[in-house]
Structure 1
Amino acid sequence: MVPALSFVAGNMVLRNADGNVVDGLNYGEIVDPWASEGYHGISGAGELGCYTESPALEGGTSRRNSSPSSLPMRSVGRYPDGTDNDSNCNDFKLHNTISLALPSEAGTNNIKVSSVADFRIGQKVIVGIDDYEIAKITLIGSAGGTLVNAKVEAGDTIIPVESIEGFSPDQKITLGNGSNQETVVVESATDLRRFWWRPRTDDGPSTFVTVTKPVSYKHDVGEEAVGSGITFSRPLSRAYKKGDQVSSGTPTPGSPNQYVIQ
Structure 2
Amino acid sequence: MSAAVQPKQQQLPEVPVTGKRQSPIDIRTENVVNERTKRSVLQDGSKPLYIDYSPLTGVQLTIQNTGHGWQLSIPDEHAKNCEITGGTLGSDHYRLLQIHAHWGRDSNTGSEHTVNGRTYPCELHLVHWNATKYSNPKQAQTQSKDGLAVVGVFVEIGCEQHPIFAIIDSLIPAIPYKGDKKSVQNEHLDLNQLVPDRHSPNYWFYLGSLTTPPYNESVLWHLMKTPIRASEKQIAEFRKLYEKESYSDANHNVKENYRDVQDLHGRPILDID
TM-score by length of 1: 0.24
Q: Which has the larger radius of gyration?
A: 1
Flag the structure with higher helix content: 2
> Larger relative contact order (C-alpha < 8 A, sep ≥ 6)?
2
